Structure 1
Amino acid sequence: MGNRRFLDSNHRWRKDKKSFDGTIETRSAPKVLSGDDILGLLKDYDNVIFGKLQKKRRRDETSLPYNWKKLSIFFQLPYWSTLEIRHCLDYMHILKNITDNILGTMLNIDGKTKDDLNSRLDLMEMGLRSELHLIEKDDHYVIPPACYTLTLAERRAICSFLENLKVPDGYSSNIKRCVNVKEGKVSRMKAHDCHVFMLDQLAPAFRGIVRKEVYDPLVELSVFFKELSSKVLSTEVLDKLEKNIVITLCKLERIFPPSFFTIMMHLPIHLA
């Protein structure tokens, strides 16, 4: 979990060991590499080799610290190294994965939740978040509820809201088909369903059900994506989004376990 690196160097959360990974964050934000910088780092690497490899590549010391193994074929284009942005992040793909993470964990969906037995065992091994450690009782272990843990009645209330939601024609698909009120689960949401949920439905669906310390950063994340999806964006708004998303992700890090933070959960920093 490295979002604290993007905070101001004197931010109090940089010294907050208990709420994060047990360490004080003293590193600065990663340097933005120019095309010439990348070419210098990859000068001894081969170009892309197309086709299926016979042997699986293994990570070794030569690939550190960036885990690069080859020189992208795009650097053969004469203008590529001078571009400020040499990659393309799929906004809808990122948003869908983040929405699946949130719903899977909040609604405790089998196979989708990031808060399972292994997640709690990881916390015990790392010595973090003692309130979330497994409790031994008789001949089995009990998973203590977290601040984001919802009861079946609360999950059903969220699903009932989504099932009875009315939207204008053409605004979105029928989300009712993705909802199982009895089990308190949401599944099979397409990318556009996730887009609509994150931008407009998350806040009212969770309001009054999810605890405030969990609700507020989730709404901030929703607002971030809503602003980013605007038809018109000013540089001032983008600067504000770039600064605020770091704070929002750090708030989420203080709530959810490390397993919640897949690579997709970190990519919003690079969208702004």
Structure 2
Amino acid sequence: MFFELPHWSKLKLRHNLDVMHVEKNVFDTLVGTILDIEGKTKDTIKAHLDLKRMGIRRGLWMNRDSDKARRDLAFFSMNPNDKKRFLKFVSSVKFPDGYASNIVCCFRHDIVQVLYKFEMIFPPAFFTSIMHVMVHLPEKALLAGLVNYRWMYPIERLLGELKKSVRNRAKPE
């Protein structure tokens, strides 16, 4: 429908990527996989079976113990002691306001290189469409301007406040 509009081809910014949800999903995927969080990790039994089916990364294939297949902790996942040390470190990190989120300073080439290196480490299931969207973030940031004018944090915060005021959840209006 949008592609048929006469002005569509002239638009420089056809899609406004919601940076808040992109960063949340990328973070969930990366940290969930590294910390091996149930339900968040992309390092699943199915992912290991896919690797074997594709005949790649033999070191990540499933181990067979008698009749059962078991998934060992992958080399990129952390054991419980490493998880504690990592979380302690992350909780101590402090950045000046806006410093750690300035996506314009990241060049598209750098993001592509990081994703390329991730491909050498993580299973194919790790690479969801949201990982590809990261490649386009610097370009969109340059076209659309400052991220804080178009991200969803204020709206999500407002919706959270409105949700608290609902008395009858069956009829929130």
Q: Is this a same-fold pair by TM over 0.5?
A: yes
Does residue 156 (structure 1) correspond to residue 22 (structure 2)? The answer is no
2:8 is aligned, of 53, 58, 80, to 80
1:127 paired to 2:86: no
TM-score, normalised with respect to structure 2: 0.69
**Counterpart Cα distance in 1 of 2:94 and 2:108:** 31
Say how many residue pairs are matched: 138
- Residues 132 and 145 in structure 1, CA contact (< 8 A), matched pair in contact too: no
C-alpha contact (below 8 Å) 1:106/1:150 kept by paired residues = yes
1:207-226 matches, cutoff 5 A: 226=101
CA contact (8 A) 1:135 1:142 kept: yes
Match of 1:228 among 75, 87, 103: 103
Q: What's the CA shift string for 1:19-66, capped at 9, x where partnerless?
A: xxxxxxxxxxxxxxxxxxxxxxxxxxxxxxxxxxxxxxxxxxxxxxxx
Which gives a bigger RCO, structure 1 or 2 (Cα 8 Å, sep 6+)? 2
Gap change, CA 1:155 and 1:138, over 3 Å in 2: same
* Pair 1:136–1:91, CA change in 2 (3 A): same
Q: Aligned AA for 1:243? A: H
What is residue 151 of structure 2 aligned with on the other side? none
Q: What is the deviation of 1:271?
A: 1.4
2:69 match = 141
Deviation at residue 162 of structure 1 after TM alignment: 3.9
Aligned pairs for 1:48-87 within 5 A: 71-72=1-2, 75-76=4-5, 79-87=7-15
Does residue 255 (structure 1) correspond to residue 121 (structure 2)? The answer is yes
Q: Residue 140 of structure 1: CA displacement? A: 2.0
Aligned amino acid, residue 84 of structure 2: R
| Aligned match of 2:111 | 245
Shift of 1:257: 0.4
CA distance in 2, matches of 1:242, 1:98: 16
Aligned partner of residue 267 in structure 1, secondary structure: helix
Equivalent residue, structure 1, for 2:159: none
Letter in 2 for 1:228: I
User: CA 1:145 to 1:86, structure 2 compared with 1: closer, same or farther past 3 Å?
Assistant: same
Q: Amino acid of the residue matched to residue 145 of structure 1?
A: L
Give the deviation of 1:75 after TM superposition: 4.9
Q: How does 1:88-107 map to 2 (within 5 A)?
A: 88-107=16-35
Q: Secondary structure at the match of 2:15?
A: coil
Structure 2's unaligned 5+ residue stretches are 139-173
In the TM superposition, residue 161 of structure 1 has moved relative to its aligned partner by 2.9
User: What is the Cα deviation at residue 106 of structure 1?
Assistant: 0.9
Question: When you count helix as a share of all residues, which structure comes out higher?
Answer: 2
Provide the identity percentage: 36
Residues 1:229 and 1:135: Cα distance change in structure 2 (over 3 Å): same
Looking at structure 1, the residues matched to 73 and 9 of structure 2 have their Cα atoms a distance apart, in angstroms, of 50
Cα distance, 1:83–1:152 mapped onto 2, change above 3 Å: same
Superposition deviation, residue 265 in structure 1: 0.7
